[in-house]
């Protein structure tokens, strides 16, 4: 109850703050105020109930919004099932490890009960991602809404998602191609403060790193102690085991990801890569173990930027009835 009151208070506060800025945007905070006034409260209540039971779903729900936005814009395309003639994004390689589709279906069903045909699945993803962060003790930010749902989902387009082997050049250019800055990159990478990774996503750093068919051939940039620990957990070709990405606080949204990366304990090349550019390196170092306030503010801003990527508005697309299929 206390959280709910706080939530309503924050929403009200945010409306007040944003009313002052007259920026023309296609999305707007409080888009459903008239058409479905309880939409955001319904989402928060459902996500709270689900995460009370299964806290480990917070991380994949945040990640799902990222995977949606980077492929065809934030249009709910990540949620569509494959059909007879088409393999959807969901069934492409990077999505093997996405979880939480059932949560989205459940939240959407509640919204359809309250206001049929009003709230898009793309907006559900954006709101659920925010609430998953709030419920992991992270920041609240006002989520601009008004996205519409796309009609297309193609497995081969998941190539637009950066792989964990990415170097800094690739990361900057892949974020740049979505209109996101170097700062957005380092800030949004901070999402890896919660959740898990399968050994498959970083095993190349632990064994046979340069392809010498030598199991002692490891990534020299990874912290030695951490490397040894990972090697005891992840065996070569292990595609089942997973590790906490931010050991010790993988369910708490905080700045400890930057502390880990600064000690060369980021699990992916893409985490390590943040130490290879002056701007991202400076951000990592200055936020390692620092107070959360600035990171929290930055994270909300960068999530709003990411949530704007390639959105459909007005009469484009549709409002899906079920998130896994077009109407």
Ligand X SMILES: *[C@@H]1O[C@H](CO)[C@@H](O)[C@H](O)[C@H]1NC(C)=O
Q: Which residues bind ligand HEM (CB under 6 A)?
A: 59-60, 62-63, 66, 97, 99, 162-164, 166, 171, 188-189, 191-192, 194-198, 201, 268, 270
Contact 89, 71 (CB under 8 A): yes
Is 89 annotated in a binding site? The answer is: yes
Which DSSP letter does residue 126 get?
Answer: H
Number of Cβ within a 10 Å radius of residue 213: 8
Beta carbon nearer to ligand HEM, 28 or 166? 166
Is 246 annotated in a binding site? The answer is: yes
259: left (phi over 0), alpha (psi -120 to 50) or beta: alpha
Is 71 annotated in a binding site? The answer is: yes
Residue 4 interacts with which of ligand HEM, ligand X, none, CB < 5 to 8 Å by class: none
Beta carbon nearer to ligand X, 158 or 262? 158
Q: Which residues bind ligand X (CB under 6 A)?
A: 81, 90-93, 95-96, 98, 101, 154, 156, 167, 169-170, 208, 211, 213, 239, 324
In DSSP terms, 28 is beta-bridged to 145
Is 271 annotated in a binding site? The answer is: no
Residue 56 CB, nearest distance to ligand X (Å)? 15
Active site residue 287: no
Residue 286 CB, nearest distance to ligand HEM (Å)? 19
Beta carbon nearer to ligand X, 20 or 85? 85
Beta carbon nearer to ligand X, 14 or 208? 208
Per-residue three-class SS string for 217-255? CCCCCCCHHHHHHHHHHCCCCCCCCEEECCCCCCCCCCC
In DSSP terms, 144 is beta-bridged to 29
- Quote the CA–CA distance of 85 and 73 in Å, as a whole number: 22
> Any idea which residues carry the catalytic annotation?
67
């Amino acid at each position: 109850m206390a959280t709910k009151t706080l939530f309503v208070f924050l929403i009200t506060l945010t409306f007040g703050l944003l009313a002052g800025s007259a920026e023309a945007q296609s999305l707007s905070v409080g888009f459903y105020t008239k058409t479905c006034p309880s939409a955001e409260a319904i989402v928060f209540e459902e996500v709270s109930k689900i995460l009370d039971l299964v806290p480990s779903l917070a991380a994949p729900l945040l990640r799902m919004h990222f995977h949606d936005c980077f492929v065809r814009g934030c249009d709910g395309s990540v949620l569509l099932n494959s059909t007879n003639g088409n393999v959807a994004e969901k069934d492409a390689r990077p999505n093997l490890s996405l979880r939480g589709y059932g949560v989205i279906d459940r939240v959407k069903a509640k919204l359809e009960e309250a206001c049929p045909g009003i709230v898009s699945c793309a907006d559900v993803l954006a709101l659920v991602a925010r609430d998953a962060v709030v419920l992991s003790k992270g920041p609240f930010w006002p989520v601009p809404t008004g996205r519409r749902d796309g009609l297309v989902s193609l497995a081969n387009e998941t190539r637009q998602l950066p792989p964990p082997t990415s170097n800094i050049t690739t990361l900057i250019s892949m974020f740049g191609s979505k209109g996101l800055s170097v700062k957005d990159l380092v800030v949004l990478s901070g999402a890896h403060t919660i959740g898990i990774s399968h050994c498959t996503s970083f095993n190349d750093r632990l064994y046979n790193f340069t392809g010498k068919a030598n199991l002692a051939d490891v990534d020299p940039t990874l912290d030695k102690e951490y490397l040894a620990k990972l090697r005891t957990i992840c065996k070569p070709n292990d595609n089942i085991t997973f590790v906490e990405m931010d050991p010790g606080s993988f369910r708490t949204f905080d700045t400890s990801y930057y502390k880990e990366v600064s000690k060369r304990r980021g699990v992916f090349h893409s985490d390590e890569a943040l130490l290879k550019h002056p701007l991202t390196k400076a951000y990592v170092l200055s936020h390692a173990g620092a107070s959360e306030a600035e990171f929290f503010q930055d994270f909300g801003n960068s999530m709003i930027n990411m949530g704007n990527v390639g959105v459909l508005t007005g009469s484009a697309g549709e409002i899906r009835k079920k998130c896994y299929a077009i109407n």
